[in-house]
């Protein structure tokens, strides 16, 4: 059967192999999906070897999403606007790059969590690969003004520039987050939970009925989402649903059919409460 793989470092914890295997079983589509550990310096070689060995599609996770861009022969709109690739599709003798993270997030928030994103004044914390992946789809989903705050201000400026909607997208320093008023949607797109820890935001950033989202899941998401709950967020959403939904989008690109995600989501949720 055709080969698929997720590339990352570290990659052993990735849930993607289990998710794609479950989708394949549910739809009776035979596939092989493996996890391939690749350091940034080895990624190009690993991807070429995978293609030579019959690789038909791939997912790209930390820290390789931005490095995948120049390895693609063509890019879809989603990947071009994000400047990051999370899904690779073999086309002819090259890779086509897409980014399904943003659509996955929007699908999770609207369909699973039942939220209306339209006109929500939004605070996006972080300007790295994860933030880049979701910002275009959030704008497309009709959110209101988007404030991007980042510890390193220059990266917030660069992301805002790339989004190309200066009237609607406002880059700021993370330290100034408390001076920007109230937000209806606050999204942690930093990797801070994995390391030194995000500075605690004033609870005044959360508007009445605000939704707080962490693009991470599991242990990494606990700190931000605990803060959000204590600070009075109306809804609190981690990144597990986005993970399943971005996988379903990728599966559809590879196999031509979008799997139902509810069962896989339920199973993962029962193990990642």
Binding residues for NADP(+): 77, 126-130, 150-155, 215, 239
The interface region with ligand ATR, picked from 23-31, 74-82, 129-137, 229-237 by CB under 6 A, is 129-137
Site string (225-244) toward ligand ATR, x via CB under 6 A: --------------------
Instruction: Verify binding: residue 223, ligand ATR, rule CB under 6 A.
Output: no
What is the C-alpha to C-alpha distance for residues 208 and 182, in angstroms, rounded to an integer? 9
Name the residue among 135, 106, 93 with its Cα closest to residue 248. 106
The stretch among 48-56, 100-108, 190-198, 240-248 that binds ligand ATR (CB under 6 A) is: 190-198
Cβ within 8 Å of residue 116, ≥6 positions away: 110
Cα–Cα dist 174/124, whole Å: 10
Q: Does 259 bind ligand ATR (CB under 6 A)?
A: no
Considering only residues 5, 47, 115, 130, which one is a binding residue for ligand ATR as defined by CB under 6 A?
Answer: 130
Q: Single out the segment in contact with ligand ATR by CB under 6 A; choices: 40-48, 127-135, 201-209, 253-261.
A: 127-135
* Of the candidate residues 129, 136, 239, 250, the single one contacting ligand ATR (CB under 6 A): 129
Q: How many other C-beta atoms are found inside a 10 Å radius of the C-beta of residue 256?
A: 8
Pairwise CA distance, residues 193 & 214, whole Å: 10
* Strand order, beta sheet including 169-173: 169-173, 146-150, 122-125, 183-188, 206-214, 235-237
179 is catalytic: no
Report the distance separating Cα 153 and Cα 126, nearest Å.
Answer: 10
Catalytic site positions: 65
Q: Which residues of the chain form contacts with ligand ATR (CB under 6 A)?
A: 62, 126-131, 150-152, 155, 174, 190-192, 195-198
């Amino acid at each position: 059967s055709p080969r698929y793989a997720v590339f990352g470092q570290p990659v052993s914890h990735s849930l993607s192999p289990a998710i794609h295997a479950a989708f394949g079983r549910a739809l009776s589509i035979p596939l092989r999906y493996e996890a391939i550990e690749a350091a940034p310096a080895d990624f190009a070689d690993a991807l070429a070897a995978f293609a030579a060995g019959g690789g038909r599609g791939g997912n790209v996770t930390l820290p390789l999403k931005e490095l995948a861009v120049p390895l693609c022969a063509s890019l879809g709109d989603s990947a071009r606007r994000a400047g990051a690739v999370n899904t690779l599709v073999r086309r002819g003798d090259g890779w086509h790059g897409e980014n399904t993270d943003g659509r996955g997030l929007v699908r999770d928030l609207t369909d699973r969590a039942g939220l209306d994103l339209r006109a929500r004044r939004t605070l996006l914390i972080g300007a790295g690969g994860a933030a880049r992946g979701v910002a275009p789809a959030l704008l497309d989903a009709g959110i209101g003004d988007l404030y991007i705050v980042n510890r390193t201000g220059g990266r917030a400026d660069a992301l805002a520039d790339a989004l190309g909607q200066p009237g609607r997208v406002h880059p700021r320093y993370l330290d100034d987050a408390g001076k920007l008023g109230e937000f209806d949607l606050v999204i942690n797109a930093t990797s801070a939970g994995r390391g030194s820890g995000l500075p605690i935001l004033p609870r005044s950033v959360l508007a009445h009925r605000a939704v707080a989202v962490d693009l991470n899941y599991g242990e990494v998401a606990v700190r931000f989402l605990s803060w959000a709950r204590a600070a009075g967020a109306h809804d609190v959403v981690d990144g597990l649903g986005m993970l399943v939904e971005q996988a379903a989008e990728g599966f559809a690109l590879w196999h031509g059919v979008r799997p139902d995600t509810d069962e896989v989501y339920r199973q993962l949720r029962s193990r990642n409460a």
